[in-house]
């Protein structure tokens, strides 16, 4: 195939790819990536890597300066917008705006139709100041501080993975003894951005909703030893429980959302059957014997030292039939896709934590007296290159009784227990 024909074929495919499903789009993307890797000049690829952080910061500045808000208004009017208009409406210097707009044009967010005249693209509205996308960018660009400092951190401390949430690259970069969550809680804008980012995950914006991966309805008929069916440990503003309640309005028992006071104070208008509770999951779990203890994207924020403590507090509160469900990205042992590999570095820089493999979850759970039963994944997952989540199901490994220890073994939620009684 000659070059002209190949280019035409690619252009035709681009025009028709909009109707493809997410997995099909991922397949197309991977094929294009392979092609790009063979034709992209080395120097171009190198410069793209070097300047990648600048793209995110340019987006963050454009959000802070409300360039997207002004652009979205022009889009609604069906008009182009001039540099002078952008400067007047945002009250920002024209020269600074012009320099940022050069990046936004190359990111295909605006077309440069004439000198200092821009045509906003439809996607611009998604980046407005209060949009979910803008909040996600605000949240993740805040991590660049500690990421940039990683070389200095390791050069000074030695090249070993940090293993203490209170002595991480974040504390090193910022010069604080606070955990990042404490630091965020004192900054309302950052706390809001974090809450929105977590809400997007719970709504399936980044991955499949957790209750589509795990047969949670099989637990509805399980004997209840508490008036609480599920505890959402570190559940933020209740996004996971709200979507779960919408899917299963007749769930037996209460749903309880737990988080630190600074987060719970922002919780508003929870549906009937869902309660909010201020707690610290590094301390004792106050709700005993719930059917389910659910943790969504919690343990990847904590190194093994603190993650083990979190799980031990839950273990101590569990009844014999309680189940722990961890909604996390579970990395393969080999061939980890790019985005999970990058996310793992972000977690290391921000929290001394990281994404884990199934083996690592098994070892972590075992250290906390829990047994990994099964890792549940969804057939709807986008696949390679994404941050697809899974559900790690765990049960009590040992349950203390008078005069002995009961070891509980369960292979599936729909199968009963094999109980082995051991003398202590």
Q: What is the C-alpha to C-alpha distance for residues 22 and 197, in angstroms, rounded to an integer?
A: 21
N-to-C CA span, the chain: 74
Query: How far apart are the C-alpha atoms of 361 and 204, rounded to whole Å?
Result: 23
Number of Cβ within 10 Å of residue 397's Cβ equals 17
C-alpha span between 46 and 40 (Å, rounded): 10
Residue 417: both structure tokens together? 């227990």
Nearest C-alpha neighbor of 360 from the set 313, 337, 326, 388: 326
Q: Where does residue 21 rank: exposed (0-12), middle (13-18), buried (19+ CB within 10 A)? A: exposed
Please give the order of strands across the beta sheet that includes 110-114: 81-82, 117-120, 110-114
Catalytic residues: 300
**Bridge partner list, 111:** 119
Distance, in Å, from the CA atom of 44 to the CA atom of 47, rounded to the nearest integer, reads: 5
Query: What strands lie across the sheet with 228-233, from one edge to the other?
Result: 274-278, 254-259, 228-233, 292-296, 323-328, 390-396, 370-376
Instruction: Tell me the backbone φ, ψ of residue 32, rounded to 5 degrees.
Output: -65, -35
């Amino acid at each position: 195939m000659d070059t002209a024909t190949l280019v035409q074929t690619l252009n035709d495919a681009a025009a028709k790819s909009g109707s493809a499903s997410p997995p099909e789009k991922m397949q197309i993307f991977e094929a294009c990536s392979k092609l790009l890797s063979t034709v992209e000049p080395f120097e171009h690829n190198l410069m793209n890597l070097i300047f990648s952080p600048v793209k995110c910061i340019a987006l963050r500045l454009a959000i802070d300066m409300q360039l997207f808000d002004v652009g979205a208004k022009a889009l609604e009017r069906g008009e182009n917008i001039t540099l002078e208009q952008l400067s007047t409406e945002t009250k920002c210097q024209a020269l600074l705006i012009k320099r940022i707009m050069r990046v936004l044009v190359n990111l295909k967010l605006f077309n440069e139709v004439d000198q200092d005249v821009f045509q906003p693209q439809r996607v611009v509205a998604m980046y407005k100041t209060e949009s979910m996308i803008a909040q996600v960018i605000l949240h993740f660009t805040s991590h660049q501080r500690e990421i940039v400092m990683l070389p200095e951190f390791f050069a000074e401390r030695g090249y070993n993975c940090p293993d203490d949430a209170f002595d991480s690259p974040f504390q090193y970069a910022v010069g604080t003894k606070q955990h990042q969550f404490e630091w965020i809680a004192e900054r309302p804008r950052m706390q809001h951005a974090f809450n929105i980012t977590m809400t997007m995950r719970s709504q399936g914006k980044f991955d499949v909703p957790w209750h589509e991966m795990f047969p949670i309805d099989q637990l509805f008929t399980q004997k209840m030893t508490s008036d609480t069916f599920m505890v959402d440990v570190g559940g933020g503003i209740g996004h996971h429980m709200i979507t779960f309640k919408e899917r299963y309005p007749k769930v037996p028992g209460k749903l309880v959302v737990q988080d630190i006071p600074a987060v719970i104070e922002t919780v508003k208008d929870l549906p009937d059957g869902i309660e909010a509770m201020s707690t610290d999951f590094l301390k004792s779990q106050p709700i005993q014997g719930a059917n389910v203890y659910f943790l969504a994207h919690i343990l990847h924020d904590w190194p093994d030292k603190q993650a083990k403590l979190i799980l031990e507090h839950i273990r101590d509160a569990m009844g014999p039939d309680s189940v722990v469900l961890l909604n996390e990205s579970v990395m393969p042992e080999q061939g980890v896709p790019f985005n999970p590999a990058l996310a793992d570095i972000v977690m290391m820089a921000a929290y001394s934590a990281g994404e884990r493999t199934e083996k690592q979850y098994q070892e972590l759970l075992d250290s906390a007296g829990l047994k990994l039963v099964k890792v549940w994944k969804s057939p709807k997952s986008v696949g390679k290159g994404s941050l697809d989540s899974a559900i790690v199901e765990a049960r009590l490994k040992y349950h203390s009784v008078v005069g002995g220890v009961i070891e509980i073994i369960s292979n599936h939620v729909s199968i009963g227990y094999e109980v082995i009684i051991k003398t202590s």
